[in-house]
Amino acid sequence: MVFETLFPNGWVHYLLGGLLIGAGTAIIYLSTGIIAGASTFLESTLSYVSAKSRFQQYRFRASRDWRVVFTLGIVLGGAAYGLTFGEFGWTTDVQWWRLLVGGLFVGVGTRLGKGCTSGHGVCGVGSLSETSLLNVATFVGVAVGTAQIVAALGVTP
Amino acid sequence: MPAILLGGVVFGFGLGLSQMYRPEVVLRFLRLSDLGLLLVMGGASVVAGVVFAVGSRTDRTAPLTGREFGKRVKSMDRNVLLGGGVFGVGWGISGICPGAAYASLGVGNVTILYAVVGMFAGAYLQGYLRSETSAAEQTAEEPA
Residue A143's pLDDT band (cuts 50, 70, 90): very high
Q: Which residues of A touch B22 (CB under 8 A)?
A: 90, 92
Q: What's at A55, amino acid-wise? A: F
* pLDDT, tens digit (0-9, with 9 covering 90-100), for B20-32: 999 999 999 999 9
Q: Is B133 on the interface with A (CB under 8 A)?
A: no
Q: Is B60 on the interface with A (CB under 8 A)?
A: no
Length of chain B (residues)? 144
DSSP designation for A91:
-
Q: Is B137 on the interface with A (CB under 8 A)?
A: no
**Residues of chain A above pLDDT 90, percent:** 90
Q: The pTM is what?
A: 0.94
Please judge whether B119 and A106 are an interchain contact, meaning their C-beta atoms are less than 8 angstroms apart. yes
Please judge whether B102 and A78 are an interchain contact, meaning their C-beta atoms are less than 8 angstroms apart. yes
